[in-house]
Structure formats: C-alpha cells, structure tokens
Amino acid sequence: MKVWQRIRTGAGRLNRILPALLACALPLSTSAVSVLSLCILLLWVVEGKFGQKWRVITANPVVVALLAYLAVLAIGLLWSPNVKAGLIVLQARWKIALLPVFLTAIDSRRRSFYVWGFLIGLVAAMLMTYLAWFGFLHYSDISQHHLTHNTFHVVYNPLLAFGIYLVMHEAVWAKAGKGFRLGLALLAAIMTFNMFITEGRAGQLVFFVLLALFILQVLAKNRIKAVAAVCLLVPVIFYGGYRLSPVFHHRVDAARYEIARFHTDPNTSVGQRLRFWCNSWQIIRQHPLLGVGTGGFQASYADINHKLSPTCVATDNPHNQYVLVAAMVGIPGIIALLMIFAVMFRQAWVSHDHWRRVRFAFPLFFLTIMLTESYLRVYETGFFFSLFAAVLYALPQDNRQSAAVQSDAGELMA
C-alpha cells in the first residue's frame, strides 16, 4: 500500500514539471507535445485524488465556461446530419478539453516556471529561423526566403507575438535586477525584428494589437498620454516595418492585392478566406438559430460552394473560429465561445498579482487571431490555450488545494 502511495505521490510531483516541458515543446515539436500531453494525462490518472481535483475544476469559472462550450458542441450532435462527422469534430477538441487536467496538474504558485519554459522553447525556435536567415540552416522547404517549414508560420508568428508581449511584460514589471531587465528588452527587440522577417500575417496583426495593449498598460496612470502613444507608436512601427522589411512589405502588398482582386480571382491566400467567409455566411443565414449541427459544416459548405463558387475549393474549415462555430451550433455556440473569454477578462479584472496584465492579454490574443483561423482546433495553439489558461487562471484556492494534496500524500507516506 505504501509503495502505491509513493507512486501516486511521485506521479503528482512529476506532473508539476512536465507542463513546463510541454510549454517548451509547443514551438518546436508536435511529436513531443503529443507524448508529453499523454504522459501528463497518464500521471494525472495515476495520482488519483479525483474528488479534490473535481472540486478545483468546478470552482474555476474559466474551466466551467470551457466545459459549457464543449457541451454545446456535444448537444449539436442532436441535429447534425452526420453524427460520425460530429464525433470527429468533438474528438479534434481533445486539446482544449485537457484544460481541467492541466489545471489540476500544475503548481499554480510557480506560474513563472511554465511561462519561462514556453519562452525558452520559443527562443530556440526563433534561433533556428535566424540560422536559416543567415544561410546556415537548410532542410525541407526552409531557406533564406522561407524561414519556417511548410505553413508553420501560421502558428509560429502568433506564438512569437505573445512571447514578445511576455518578454516586454517581464522587462518592465519583473522583480529583477536592471541588467536582467535590459537583457529582456534586448531580447524583445530581437524577437520583434524576427516578427518582420517571418511570414505569418495573423501573428503580425496580433503583435500590433498586443503592442497597443502593452503601451496602454505601461501608461495606465495617464490615459490621454497612453492613447496618444498608441496612436503614434503603432503606426510608426508599422510604417518602419513596411519600409525596412521586404518580407513584411510583400505580405502587406500581397494582402491588399488579393483583396482588391477577390471578385475576379478568389483562388489566392486571402481570396480563399474571403470566399470561405462569404459562403459560410450563407449557411449561417439559412440556419441562424442553431446552425447545421456539429459535424454538418463540411457537407453544407460543399453544397453552397457548388452553387455559388464551383471553381473554388471546398473546405471543412472557414479559417475563422467565430464563423465555424456559428455555422455549426448557431447562437448558443457563439455565446458559449465568447463566454470563455468574457470570464477570462473578469478573472483578470478581479486579480491583483503580477500576472494580472497578462490575463488581459491572453483572451485579447485569441479573440484577435481567431478572426483569421480556427485556432482552437489548430494543434499547437489548441494546446497553448489549454495549458496557459490553466497557468494564468488557476485561482488562489487552487494553491491551497495543491498544498492539501501534497500534504495528504506526505501523511500517507509517513
């Protein structure tokens, strides 16, 4: 019996560490993310203490809001034309469904531990892009002109944008020496330069959004000065990036060109997204209240696409989280989705610790990037959401619960 208790206690202690490794792996390896997440889940089961964990889960408003959203998707199976397809949709949400597991696995008294794990992995990924930029790294489709493999910039740049915010946050508000904070400021500058030589437009968009938030937070005591600084600095940095970075210049001009030619040539990166949104809107208009059901989007879109744009490719993802949810489960789905982030904002408002500002940035980050992609279903950002929602929004009583679990385990071992 004592041996089993030691195993359970060891599983719990190891599970305080593995989420930091998972955070580190997010920008580096999907295989490592898969293995680590499954290990965390296995150790979570071995540790037990399900009654205590359940009390922590049900007491956390963010987790309750997420479970309500997943419940709406599950209920959407009732009017889905294809239940099998709906079950596949639900299965694909397993990444965000791990939030309750992460919440009761981490040690929420050590939030910095997990944040720095993520930043270490992100800096390692960034160094690889610089090696490619200088011509020292060549493999797959990575080159001096394309610094990330395949379409990884869709994930890399948003993660980089949030990483830049975190580094700037610590450079200003961390309780550290002046030299360390200056080093963080230099790192933020290097990461910002990297943002403009890589290709992810969603990341570049949210970079400016988070930059505006950061300026407002730094100058919060003088709102007029804060707004004036945002109105001045954000356009100046955008213009500087546009003039000095050929990659950023090209991506902006390409977006403008593809939007202008959307009606005559929709088969471009931006044009396809606009076509997805327009066709999906027709689905929403036809099923405004409850949508077409969980799993019904792909077939419904194929029908609409055949009628309205037969020369364009069909899709199972309109590259917009709000459009996808509205088309599948209508008004209840949109309300449930937005409630997750509304609860996050509320939790940020009532908190007063070091991470309060980051708790405002996190939902703003996702609300922005979900305009251009269904990021809660994307592999890396799905895990990023569930892990960092646990790290940032664990409640103070969760600390006491974690201490109680460890104390109980210690008594059993004695």
Residue identified by tokens 């990023």 is: 384
In whole angstroms, give the CA distance from residue 239 to residue 125: 26
Are 300 and 283 in contact, with CB atoms under 8 Å apart? yes
Given a cut of 60, is residue 399 above it in pLDDT?
A: no
Residue 8 CA to residue 406 CA, distance in Å, equals 10
Share above pLDDT 90 across residues of the chain, in percent, rounded to a whole number: 69
The region of weakest confidence among 76-90, 201-215, 305-319 is: 305-319
Q: In the predicted model, is pLDDT for residue 183 greater than 70?
A: yes
Residue 410, pLDDT above cutoff 80? no
Q: Which pLDDT value is given to residue 8?
A: 81
215-234: average pLDDT:
93
Q: How confident is the model at residue 397 (pLDDT cuts 50, 70, 90)?
A: low
The tokens for 11 are 């599983």
Question: Full-prediction pTM beyond 0.75?
Answer: yes
Tell me: pLDDT of 398 over 60.
Answer: no
The Cα 78–Cα 178 span in angstroms is: 59
Phi, psi of 309 (to 5 degrees): -150, 65
**Cross-strand partners of 139:** 142
Phi-psi category of residue 107: left, alpha or beta, with phi > 0 → left and psi -120 to 50 → alpha: beta
First to last CA, the chain: 12
pLDDT, tens digit (0-9, with 9 covering 90-100), for 25-70 = 999 999 999 999 999 999 999 888 889 999 999 999 999 999 999 9
Q: Quick check: 403 pLDDT over 50?
A: no
307-327 in b/e burial notation, b at 16+ Cβ within 10 A? eebeebebbebbbbbbbbbbb
Rounded to 5°, angle at Cα 305 from 300 and 306: 100
Average pLDDT of the chain, as a whole number: 90
400 pLDDT more than 50: no
Short-list 287, 290, 234, 310, CA closest to 75: 290
For residue range 146-178, what is the model confidence (pLDDT) as tens digits? 777 777 788 999 999 999 999 999 999 988 888
pLDDT value of position 49: 86
Question: Residue type for 398, please?
Answer: D
Quickly tell me which residue has 């996702």 as its tokens: 366
Establish how many alpha carbons lie within 13 A of residue 319's alpha carbon, considering only the half-sphere containing its beta carbon: 16
Confidence grade of residue 134 (pLDDT, cut at 50, 70, 90): confident
Q: Tens digits of per-residue pLDDT, 328-378? A: 999 999 999 999 999 999 999 999 899 999 999 999 999 999 999 999 999
Q: Contact, 318 vs 277, CB < 8 A?
A: yes
Please state, for a pLDDT cut of 70, what percent of the chain lies above it. Answer: 95
Q: Which two tokens mark 12?
A: 């719990």
Mean pLDDT across the stretch 208-222? 95
Reported confidence tier of residue 411, pLDDT bands at 50, 70, 90? very low
Across 245-258, average pLDDT? 88
* Residue written as token pair 């500087």: 240
The DSSP string of 266-313 is --SHHHHHHHHHHHHHHHHHHSTTTTT-TT-HHHHHHHHHHHH-TTSP
DSSP, res 220? T
Rg from Cα positions in the chain:
22
Q: What is the pLDDT of residue 177?
A: 87
